[in-house]
Structure 1
Amino acid sequence: MGLQGQIIPYKNGEKEEDDDERAGKEISPFPPPPLHSKFAVVGYALTSKKIKSFLKPKLEGLARNKGILFVAIDQNRPLSDQGPFDIVLHKLTGKEWRQILESACTFPHYEPHDMIVEDYRRTHPEVTVLDPPDAIQHLHNRQSMLQCVADMNLSNSYGKVGIPKQIVIKKDASSIPGAVAKAGLMLPIVAKPLVADGSAKSHELSLAYDQQSLKKLEPPLVLQEFVNHGGVMFKVYIVGETIKVVRRFSLPDVCKRELSNIAGVFRFPRVSCAAASADNADLDPGVAELPPRPLLEKLARELCRRLGLRLFNLDIIREHGTRDRFYVIDINYFPGYGKMPEYEHIFTDFLLSLVQNQYKKKST
């Protein structure tokens, strides 16, 4: 298997086309947008940082050529006064935004309680929201985000996927050494903020090497047992029914001899980023080999179902010295797709598939 990132459309198992091949095609593989509009309209409510990293000119140009128009949502106006939208794409936090969405759009198990909302449902039943706020909120807590993976206990002939042994400390740093010993966690310990809201602080992590240093950590935290993984992690991007895997450099392994000579807490503002790509690095094949395709297909499918999400990524590591023991260490909603190779084609094809599904439902 080569060392380049892999695209896996796990619906049918076929390999994604090369970027050069697709760029030369003028005809979309999907039928045209619904007849009521020249364009499929995607309303977006994103932070300025996300707009800059995601809505790049190449994406918007390709989308327009395929019949997709991105339109900014004005958060100071009712959603019912805007659009109409075929798709609402969002990554905002806060009660105000959730109320705007929930007052205008239909979600599973959500029942409106006033005539204005009921009228919007009747007038715009076709809108697809990516994704339901309650489902996104589930990933804002590192205690709950990995529970789905733990509950799956995924294991087949291609490998086993779990999560590192972990505990949650909500307050009182002085209790951490006792809690770690009681839970049987081995040093070193990875400490991550309990809240994972996409902010810079939520991406910070610390590595504590000794018992005394554990008291220096600042709750609320999730404490994970560090797993040696050859200094490489796999970022698994999921966009609907397509996944793409890339390698990123990660924290180096820690041997027992080092552990006996190192003390203290080491802080890392952000471990993985696009600049730390390991796809073209000269790596040990046992470290660089991507997780087996069938294992990732099953994991992605099941997590999409359990989480109720279609836009997220997984940080996965392989236990060093094994070929088939994997751990999910983080899940992020609407991650930095701008860092994912070929994201423009993958994302626009995904949006077109959603619009076409809407069109089919209205035609039946």
Structure 2
Amino acid sequence: MDSGSLLNWKKRYAAAGAFPQPAIPRIGYWMSAKKLKKMDMNVFSRVCRNGGFELVQIDFKRPLDQQGPFDIFLHKLTDIIVKAEQDNMDDSQEVELFRVLESYMKSHPETIVIDPIDNLKKLLLRQRQYHLIATSEACINHEMVFTPNFIELYSTDPESMLEDLRRAEVSFPIVCKAQQAHGSSDAHRMMIIFNAAGLQSIKVPCVAQSFVNHDAVLYKVFVIADNFYVVRRPSFENFHSTDLPPVVFDSQNISSASWLYEDPSTKFQSSISPTSVSAKPVFELDSKIVQRIVRGVRKQFGLSLIGIDLIVEKASGRYAIIDVNAFPSYDGVPNFFQHLLGHIQSLIRQRDSQKMLTNGHAVMIKPSGLKMDPEVLS
């Protein structure tokens, strides 16, 4: 190619917009004050900056168009989604802000939302959540994985309650939980009922689920896309008597981080002495079963940042899924922010690869994400 042809090619290339400096990918985020206290976003900001990203905290008091554009919208909006679904006028300002955000996202489909709001709605009602778990690939046709039997109770009549429990094969002791898994002070307040007499203590409507003896160990499976980490935490001792009064507890306060297991290795790392949690030996989870659970739950709900609560049934050794939570604390997960940014980078690569077919013809994607018009390449 002579110098004249090269100059002409460069002019055409510049006209196509191929030479401008690529914009820095931007991550907008919104979380409640409570969530922000648990997550040091200053650390995440440094991780993003080192990775070539800009992290921006969204201010709902300003127009979103003035704060964008955003490549990623990262959020923990579950409580506000509940209020918006209920059209709660006591929180009309929050609900209106959520509507504004929904409108913005619909107008900017190129923005990747972590996680999609419609998919998060599948988690909000426990009855629906448990049904989706029970019918997911994690449980179907797998004799080692299940979710304990459950039923939604509405009646205040103990006899009617007993009939509903019998019909759903929910046996004592039972764990009674609020219908809403998010968005209220009662969401994490639970009660264990040991016998028919205890049914008088139940506040309906609620979801009742069979309690499974599990040797006082709860496994918190923290999922970041295709990666998962398991933290071993203390839980209730096995119950052998049904002649006990109801036990009220807060599911968020009953356990604390203790042991860490990272996939895909099989190495347990102790952060404190195991005897300070339980004198029982550590049960090593089968990573293949946990992988199946993670895959099945992710596919069913369409979410990438979730926490799965697992227990191992003492009598059978089966794995019981007892809860799925959106964007959990990730307490005890090493290098969480690095893994999160890696997931974000993967999503952006997937998005940009889809731009390789535009208007029915192929285009080339530079590593920076800039498109080259096929006419320029000819």
Indicate if the aligned counterparts of 1:204 and 1:267 stay in contact, CA closer than 8 A: yes
Structure 2, gaps ≥5 residues long: 1-19, 85-95, 261-269, 356-364, 366-370, 372-378
Residue 242 of structure 2 aligns to a residue whose secondary structure is helix
Indicate if the aligned counterparts of 2:130 and 2:147 stay in contact, CA closer than 8 A: yes
Indicate if the aligned counterparts of 1:41 and 1:85 stay in contact, CA closer than 8 A: yes
Indicate if the aligned counterparts of 1:189 and 1:224 stay in contact, CA closer than 8 A: yes
Deviation at 1:150, TM superposition (A): 0.9
Residue 246 (structure 2) aligned to one of 256, 265, 277: 265
Deviation at 1:311, TM superposition (A): 1.2
Residue 175 of structure 2 aligns to a residue whose secondary structure is strand
Offset from partner CA, 1:291-313 (integer Å, 9 cap, x none): x2222222222222221211111
Aligned to 1:113: none
1:158-307 map, 5 Å: 160-172=144-156, 174=158, 175-197=160-182, 199-255=184-240, 258-260=241-243, 262=244, 264-270=245-251, 275-279=256-260, 280=270, 281-282=274-275, 284-285=280-281, 288-290=283-285, 292-307=286-301
Structure 1, gaps ≥5 residues long: 1-33, 107-116
TM-score of the pair, normalised by structure 2: 0.74
Deviation at 1:190, TM superposition (A): 0.6
Residue 121 (structure 2) aligned to one of 126, 132, 137: 137
Deviation at 1:130, TM superposition (A): 1.1
Residue 223 of structure 2 aligns to a residue whose secondary structure is strand
CA 1:70 to 1:339, structure 2 compared with 1: closer, same or farther past 3 Å?
farther
Offset from partner CA, 1:54-76 (integer Å, 9 cap, x none): 23433322222112222111223
CA 1:157 to 1:197, structure 2 compared with 1: closer, same or farther past 3 Å?
closer
Aligned to 1:351: 344
Indicate if the aligned counterparts of 2:219 and 2:310 stay in contact, CA closer than 8 A: yes
Does 1:103 find its partner at 2:70?
no
User: Which deviates the most, 308-317 or 79-88?
Assistant: 79-88
Deviation at 1:181, TM superposition (A): 3.5
CA 1:140 to 1:224, structure 2 compared with 1: closer, same or farther past 3 Å?
same
CA 1:83 to 1:153, structure 2 compared with 1: closer, same or farther past 3 Å?
closer
Indicate if the aligned counterparts of 2:28 and 2:73 stay in contact, CA closer than 8 A: yes
Residue 187 of structure 1 aligns to a residue whose secondary structure is coil
Does 1:314 find its partner at 2:286?
no
Residue 23 (structure 2) aligned to one of 33, 37, 40: 37
CA 1:173 to 1:336, structure 2 compared with 1: closer, same or farther past 3 Å?
farther
Distance 1:76 1:330 in 2: 35
Aligned to 1:150: 134
Residue 201 of structure 1 aligns to a residue whose secondary structure is coil
TM-score of the pair, normalised by structure 1: 0.76
Larger relative contact order (Cα-Cα within 8 Å, sequence gap ≥ 6): 1
Offset from partner CA, 1:291-350 (integer Å, 9 cap, x none): x22222222222222212111111011101433x11110010111124433312211221
Indicate if the aligned counterparts of 1:161 and 1:328 stay in contact, CA closer than 8 A: yes
Question: Partner letter of residue 284 of structure 2?
Answer: E
Aligned to 2:335: 342
Offset from partner CA, 1:15-50 (integer Å, 9 cap, x none): xxxxxxxxxxxxxxxxxxx96323x21111110111
Distance 2:237 2:252 in 1: 11
Residue 136 of structure 1 aligns to a residue whose secondary structure is helix
Indicate if the aligned counterparts of 2:138 and 2:297 stay in contact, CA closer than 8 A: no
1:324-335 map, 5 Å: 325-335=318-328
What is the number of equivalent residue pairs in this alignment?
Answer: 307
Distance 2:171 2:204 in 1: 19
Question: Partner letter of residue 288 of structure 1?
Answer: F
Deviation at 1:157, TM superposition (A): 10
Residue 296 of structure 2 aligns to a residue whose secondary structure is helix
Indicate if the aligned counterparts of 1:173 and 1:217 stay in contact, CA closer than 8 A: no
Indicate if the aligned counterparts of 1:46 and 1:90 stay in contact, CA closer than 8 A: yes
